[in-house]
Amino acid sequence: MASEEELFASVDALLAAEPELPLPAERARLREAAGITQARLATALKTTTQSVKNWENGRSEPRPPRLEAYQRLLNGWAAKYPVHGNPATLAPAPVPAPVPAPAAVPRPEVPEAFAGPAAPKAEPVVLEEAAATSAAPERPARPVTSRRPAARKAAAPPVDSRFPHGPLAVLDGDGSAYGVDGLVLDCPATTVPELVEWTLKESGLGAAKLSRYGKDSDPLIVLTAAAAVKLGLPERLEGHEQRRSLRLPEDHPVVKQVLKAKWQLTQRGFGPWARIYRKAQGRDRQCVQLAVLSWDALDERSWPGVCEMEPADVARVLGVYATRVITPRGSTAVSGLELMTALRPPTKAVRDAESGNWISGHNAGSLGTEPVDPAPPEATPEHPAVVNSGWTGGFLNEEAYQWVRSVDLLSDEECTLPFAVGLDLNTAFLAAAARLTVGLSAPDHFHAPTFNPKIPGSWLVDLSHVEVDPRLPSPFTPDGTRPTGPAWYQTHTVAYAQELGYNVQPLEAYLRRETGAYLDPWHDRLKAAYVDTLADLGVTRDLDDRQFLAAMEQHKQTDPAMAAVLAAIKATVKGGVGKLRERPQGKSYTEGETWPAMQRPTWRPDIRAAVISKARVNMHRKLLNMSRMTGLFPLAVLSDCVVYPSPGESPLDFLPYAASGKPQPGGFRLGPTPGLAKLEGVQSMLWAVDLMEQGFNPARHIKGGDAVLDEGE
């Protein structure tokens, strides 16, 4: 039987509970019955009209002290204007039940990949989880500058009860914080420390972890120029040549406010992307990320047109990206790299056999917590391992194609064709990352090993004897020239020489015993994001080739906001791969010194080389198959773009199709998924030949105007 003290404690808890409000419809009825406008009520409660609208349509709830004042007002109106009819409208709004976390989806184990000089088993791929971040669907609070797409929408992930308002918000100067799906929150903060406290305690922002062993994403607050000024920040940051160097000086008043409130800044300081935190208490992280739009936090090349959008539209663009990819944590390149770690966390909880306690242990399939030195040929010339050892044995040169066919090899028939048509492969690096086995451990050195195409690593081998039609680029070099002697190649490049029927005899190799498909979850998530976003723009998988080309002609105009999301996804792929071999930054760097990027486990130039090698081999395989099926040879190749002479202005005029009308397998195929092709541009054949004679690459300019193809990094 409960004691008197226990009963009194329960009653006190009820008395201390926040007041319950009537349902949103009843709130609106009472206000209208009193003859009060939403604007007048907002003035009385010292809030915005939009906040009152949100309270009356259920998008958000008032916070103390407005909550008590609003309750008192509604109670007074309820006494004056009692309900006539259904009394259920007076009932408080029901509290939604927590949504369970999604079940872990098992993934198959990686097959054995090291069967050469040593043969340990491959690491298994860990279980992964889908992200669970979203908010209740609502319309934008302000007029949206872009139209909503009429295309199929991907199923929204379940709402995480810990983060009911989604992953991020865009704060404007009037205190309105625009979230996903049109949500608008009332943010009373007038200083950065107050904003951090509000974000962590009241906003309901954040995102669930992407892996069962990972960490939840910190909430992101994006500041408009007006919001930045209101919080005491300068509207613009000036005085540095490089954007990455922009930051507030340590004696700036806002930096002092942050430190005085016992918050900390990361080593990069208060710049366009600022991370403000306190040390975690147990499992609870205390960290908020800020992005300042007027400080160029969103690069125009990766987020086209976003900085000119209304706050509600910015929130929509970033919210879709956060839900489908990851909450932005910096540039798209940084986000691409962070996504790899979020999906493959380096550690997990394991039970200690001796003590029985849970401790941090290695997560199989990840890159671990410590950086791994590359093999000398995989490093860069300025790397300490190269400079200190005096290495002179050459380096991997696994880069994307930059090749132009000699005009002397153009036939009369080709020169008489009227058009040059450019094809671009969708996210070629992403397609190459699919089912890509990479090394997870440090390299071991071998002399005269037997080549094994299943072992990731670097091989010193002479491929100069491999014969390739001179109208095609060599598959072994970025500039397409034939090798002249032994050189270092990644496994996929050597395996392709073997695929072409040639014998390969490596002289040396640096190979890795622990292997796995590290990039598989990264590939799967980004592929789904790319395909779903294209579908939102009306480019779906069920279109035939003519419909696909027509849809691609106008997809950017269909919805500029979603077109910006698509551009950011593509930039995430290429930037993430580039970050695997980030070079030193700054003019003061001296060869042989360490630099920050190489101190992280994800500084892995060998993995970057594997992705690019496979992408280039995939491109050559298609070029070779096209020549065999159609007799056509390319004029030029630049990264994932190829230019062909054509009798017509459409790819349909030269791509190979079977009698049934279906595309022939092995060549270039049109479609919206990674690895398939789309039209890059059309120019006259005379234009292309003129560029070739001047030594320029037609693939770089096939779009026309000032457009320049993104070469991957």
Read out DSSP for 227-260? HHHHTT--S---S-SSGGG----TTSHHHHHHHH
Supply the pLDDT for residue 84.
60
Identify the three-state secondary structure at position 516: strand
- For 513, the token pair is 């015993």
Quote the pTM value. Answer: 0.79
| Residue 678, amino acid | K
pLDDT exceeds 60 at position 131: no
HSE-CB at 425 with a 13 A cutoff on CA atoms is 27
Burial of 72 from C-beta contacts in 10 A (0-12 / 13-18 / 19+): exposed
pLDDT tens figures, 498-539: 999 999 999 999 999 999 999 999 999 999 999 999 999 999
Range name among 33-47, 402-416, 518-532, 628-642 with the lowest pLDDT average: 33-47
Mean pLDDT value across the chain? 86
671, burial (CB in 10 Å: exposed 0-12, middle 13-18, buried 19+): middle
CA distance 563 to 569: 10
Per-residue pLDDT band for 54 (boundaries 50, 70, 90) equals confident
Instruction: Concatenate the DSSP letters of all residues of 291-314 into one string.
Output: EEGGGT-S-TTTSTTGGGS-HHHH
Give the pLDDT of residue 19: 59
Is residue 434 scored above 50 in pLDDT? yes
Residue-wise pLDDT for 193-205, tens only, equals 999 999 999 999 9
Q: Is the dihedral of CA 447, 452, 456, 460 positive or negative?
A: positive
Closest of 614, 709, 635, 631 to residue 667, by C-alpha: 631
Q: Tokens for 647? A: 């009798």
The predicted structure's pLDDT at residue 244: 54
Contact call for residues 257 and 191 (beta carbons, < 8 A): yes
The mean pLDDT of 580-606, rounded to a whole number, is 92
**Measuring CA to CA, which residue among 646, 648, 651 is closest to residue 635?**
646
DSSP state string for 357-413? -EEEEE-TTS--SS--PPPGGGS-TTSHHHHHHT--S--------EEE--GGG--HH
Q: Which residues contact 19 (CB under 8 A, 6 or more apart)?
A: 67, 68, 71
The closest alpha carbon to 640, from 397, 405, 422, 337, belongs to 422
User: Which band of pLDDT confidence, cut at 50, 70 and 90, is reported for residue 21?
Assistant: confident
Could you tell me if 702 and 641 are in contact, meaning their C-beta atoms sit under 8 angstroms apart? Answer: yes
User: For residues 209 and 215, is the Cβ–Cβ distance under 8 A?
Assistant: yes
261 DSSP 8-state letter? T
Phi and psi of 585, rounded to 5°?
-115, 145
Is 81:30 a contact under the CB 8 Å cutoff? yes
213-241 residue pLDDT tens: 999 999 999 999 999 999 999 999 876 44
- Would you say residue 245 has pLDDT above 70? no
Least confident piece of the model among 103-117, 279-293, 576-590: 103-117
In this structure, are residues 276 and 288 in contact, taking their beta carbons and an 8 Å threshold? yes
Do 470 and 514 form a contact (C-beta atoms < 8 A)? no
Whether 46 shows a pLDDT value over 60: the answer reads yes
Contact indicator for 494, 504 with CB cutoff of 8 Å: yes
The amino acid sitting at 187 is C
Question: What per-residue confidence (pLDDT) applies to 133?
Answer: 37
Residue 713 has pLDDT above 60, yes or no: no
β-strand pairing of 168-171 with 358-362: unpaired
State the pairing for strand pair 168-171/176-178: antiparallel
Site of tokens 């391992």: 385
Q: Is the peptide bond before 65 cis (omega within 30 degrees of 0)?
A: yes
Residue 56 has pLDDT above 90, yes or no: no
Q: What is the pLDDT confidence band of residue 66, given thresholds at 50, 70 and 90? A: confident
Residue 642: what pLDDT?
98
Q: Comparing 81 with 260, which gets the higher pLDDT?
A: 260
Poorest-pLDDT segment among 25-29, 151-155, 543-547: 151-155
- Say which range, 173-177, 207-211, 245-249, 285-289, has the weakest mean pLDDT: 245-249
Coil, strand or helix: which one is 186? strand
Q: 146 or 558: whose pLDDT is higher?
A: 558
Cα–Cα distance measured from residue 481 to residue 462, given in angstroms and rounded to the nearest whole number: 14
**pLDDT given for residue 47 in this prediction:** 80
Which H or E element spans position 273? strand 273-281
DSSP SS3 for 698: helix
Per-residue model confidence as pLDDT tens digits over 625-639: 999 999 999 999 999
Confidence at residue 359, expressed as pLDDT on a 0 to 100 scale: 85
pLDDT band (50, 70, 90) for residue 661: confident
Paired tokens of 101: 């976390």
Q: Residue 183, Cβ neighbours under 10 Å: how many?
A: 26
Residue found by looking up tokens 């009819």 in the block: 85
pLDDT tens column, 109-120: 333 334 444 433
Is 205:169 a contact under the CB 8 Å cutoff? yes
Domains of the chain: 18-90 (1.10.260.40), 168-330 (no CATH)
- Select from 509, 493, 505, 510 the least CA-distant residue to 462: 505
pLDDT of residue 587: 81
CA 25 to CA 29: how far, in whole Å? Answer: 6
Three-state SS sequence of 577-633 = HHHCCCCCCCCCCCCCCCCHHHHCCCCCHHHHHHHHHHHHHHHHHHHHHHHHHHCCC
Q: Which of 49-63, 243-257, 385-399, 625-639 has the lowest mean pLDDT?
A: 49-63
Which residues neighbour 201 within 8 Å (Cβ) at sequence distance 6 or greater? none
Return the number of other C-beta atoms located less than 10 Å from residue 521's C-beta. 22
* Secondary structure percentages of the chain, helix, strand, coil, to 5: 35, 15, 50
